[in-house]
Structures are given as structure tokens and as C-alpha cells.
Amino acid sequence: MSEKLIPQKSPYVIEVEPGRYAWCACGRSQNQPYCDGSHKGTDLSPIMEKVEEKKRVAWCGCKHSNNGPFCDGSHKSI
């Protein structure tokens, strides 16, 4: 299994519009917290998330959340 990189030990808190988002699960993207295809060559892939309404989202920045692409505080124990 490919190693997940840790781009930052805090969430990416972003106001998002309704739409589909590809959250980077590998930590290699240069467009954090979103996927830019940098996972190619690993066994990791992005998590697709549909946002129904404009809202503030805390995307996981450490890539170790047990709550999918959303921060659950896991970065505090890394």
C-alpha cells in the first residue's frame, strides 16, 4: 500500500459552492486539498464528494481522518 503524505497538520477550511469535489487522499497534490492527478502510480485515489449547498468545509489536511475527506481531529495524534 502506498504511503499517504501529510501536506499539513490542520484542516483546510474553505467556503465551497455546490458541486462535486475530488479531495486528494494521497497528499501529493500541488492543489491541496483537491486532487491534481499526482496519485497516479500509487494505489491511492481521490475521494469524490458532492456538496449540495454553499457552506464552509473543513477538508482533512493530514490525510488520516476516519471521517472521509473531512477533518476529525486525527492530525492532533500524528
The domain made up of 12-66 is a member of CATH 3.30.460: no
Distance CA 74, CA 43 (A): 22
Instruction: Quickly state the pLDDT bin for 1 (edges 50, 70, 90).
Output: confident
Distance CA 66, CA 19 (A): 23
What are the tens digits of pLDDT across the range 50-61?
999 999 999 999
Are residues 40 and 25 in contact, defined by beta-carbon separation less than 8 angstroms? no
What are the tens digits of pLDDT across the range 4-41?
999 999 999 999 999 999 999 999 999 999 999 999 99
